[in-house]
Amino acid sequence: MLLDTADKASRPWSWDDAPRGPGIVPGRRFWRERSLEKGKALPAYVVANVRVRDAGAYEQYKQMVPATIEHFGGRYLARGGQAEVIEGDLVLGRTIILEFPSYEDARQWYSSAEYAAAKVLRQASADGELIFIDGL
């Protein structure tokens, strides 16, 4: 995927900043330090794999959640589209990927009063896994 100049300008780092040389691959620590030097946090992602047990209650949950995500600067990257397990034994359900401005924003959303009622409804109506991931 090629990034246009608007994307490049909005990133907290630039490939021009990366160390160069044969076999040199800049890692997470390099990018995190570079971003912090520029005063910007790296994005974080929330990946959910949800197996719905009560469709009616889960529909109600889906109506409650978007405003809570937006409140913490988050946005949907994927929401229930086609997905398949290529390797491993994951029992795949509905897949959701969220992006937040920072890891701390993602954690604050999950622990917030704004999301609390929706979280209880999701936990009562579905099973699954939820993962927080640091971005680059």
**Domains contained in the chain, CATH given:** 5-37 (no CATH), 44-134 (3.30.70.100)
pLDDT exceeds 80 at position 69: yes
Q: Work out the average pLDDT over 9-29.
A: 58
Give me the pLDDT at residue 27, please: 58
Give me the pLDDT at residue 39, please: 63
Give me the pLDDT at residue 42, please: 87
| 91 contacts 43 by C-beta, under 8 angstroms | no
pLDDT exceeds 70 at position 22: no
Give me the pLDDT at residue 1, please: 41
Q: Work out the average pLDDT over 27-41.
A: 62
- Residue 54: pLDDT band with limits 50, 70, 90: very high
Q: Work out the average pLDDT over 57-75.
A: 97
The contacts found for 106-115 with CB under 8 angstroms, 24 or more apart, are 106/44, 106/45, 106/46, 106/72, 106/74, 106/132, 107/132, 108/72, 109/46, 109/68, 109/69, 109/71, 109/72, 109/74, 110/46, 112/68, 112/71, 112/72, 114/67, 114/68, 114/71, 114/72, 115/65, 115/68
- Residue 25: pLDDT band with limits 50, 70, 90: low
pTM of the entire predicted model: 0.72
Q: What percent of the chain has pLDDT over 70?
A: 71
Give me the pLDDT at residue 93, please: 95
| Full DSSP string of 48-98 | EEEEES-HHHHHHHHHHHHHHHHHTT-EEEEES------SS-----EEEEE
State the Cα–Cα distance between residues 25 and 96, nearest whole angstrom: 30
pLDDT exceeds 70 at position 121: yes
DSSP β-bridge partners for residue 48? 96, 130
